[in-house]
Amino acid sequence: MQEPAVPASDTSKNHRRGRVLLIGTVAVTLVIVLLLHPASHFAPSNSLNAGSTGTLVSYNYSCCRAPMIDTIYRPGELISARWIRATDAMKSTRPASIVLSMKLSGPYRSVIRLKLSLVSRHARRGTTFVAARPITLLSTVAANPRSTLRLPATAGAGYYNLTFTVHTKNLTVSGASIIRVALK
């Protein structure tokens, strides 16, 4: 037995119904997405959110990428430190100024001598002292700051104390790492 042929007009009606159903499904999906994810989620990260609170996305910084610390340097060489940016857990209502600074002192004959000089009552600096130019930026602007220090050509071999500071109006956070300088 042969099935009856479907008239051409019924086939085009089925295609139209299919398109209408597809468009309707896409529209409903878009509405659901917009309801579940407010417009503030789609705003650029350093612009005002669309919410009524008027908060800004804020960034903080810490020091530094491991390759800089794991490298043995030579006198006269440039030390380039890339600061690590992170999104601050606290939202801000206005931008805050952040100052990033870095200093290097040494040489010390051993890591133990370096650490002992730091905990003594009157910390002694080594014979070489170098400071990077401070970097000032706003907490609401995503930046990729880099500090640079040039070791003097006369820098001695040994261990150097690399200190770094993140300073804001109400908070200063400091840390330190040890780097090594070899003559050859």
Residue range 9-52, pLDDT digits in tens: 555 554 455 454 445 444 444 444 444 444 444 444 444 333 34
Query: 104 with 78: CB under 8 angstroms?
Result: no
Tokens (6 digits) for 125: 């600096």
Q: What would the mean pLDDT of 77-91 be, rounded to a whole number? A: 85
Q: What is the pLDDT of residues 55-64, one digit of tens each?
A: 788 888 888 8
| Distances in whole angstroms, Cα of residue 19 to Cα of each of 12, 26, 29 | 11, 11, 15
Secondary structure (3-state) at 144: coil
Whole-angstrom Cα distance, residue 131 to residue 136?
A: 15
DSSP letter assigned to residue 90: S
Whole-angstrom Cα distance, residue 99 to residue 58?
A: 15
